[in-house]
Structure 1
């Protein structure tokens, strides 16, 4: 679940980078516009991944399965 959330966060970050640098929304161009149902679903899933990603900040590294 952590990796999926991280992948979605990267997709969202790359999309926002494209919007900021080039005024190009990749998600909107792939899924039929900023307000299309598919685009809104992708935006929602990325947003949920962002909320889930907040929990990664507060986890103990060893509890997450990583060792030093």
Structure 2
């Protein structure tokens, strides 16, 4: 699972950087690499990053648990 977590995090970072480029410069790196927004490979890229985002929702309880545990020790 640790490998899958790392891959999901890496793809989320790449996706976030892509949205940064879209927001600041109206430049979609994914569409540029894979041949346009409507090209199949580009759509697959968007889907994979979105699935990584959904997968990463599982980390919220871990963050909450660690934060709560730290406050209970004091």
Say whether the fold is shared (TM-score over 0.5).
yes
Which structure is higher in helix share?
Answer: 2
Structure with max Cα Rg:
2
How far apart in 2 are the matches of 1:56 and 1:4?
14
Give the TM-score of the pair, scaled to structure 2: 0.78
The match for 1:15 among 6, 18, 23 is 18
Q: How many residues align?
A: 61
Specify which of 52, 57, 66 is matched with residue 55 of structure 2.
52
Deviations along 1:4-42, one digit per CA (max 9) or x if unpaired, are 000010010000000000000000000000010000000
For structure 1, the 5+ residue unaligned runs are 62-68
The structure, 1 or 2, with the larger RCO (C-alpha pairs under 8 Å, 6+ apart) is: 1
When the two chains are superposed, the root-mean-square deviation of aligned CA atoms in Å is 1.0
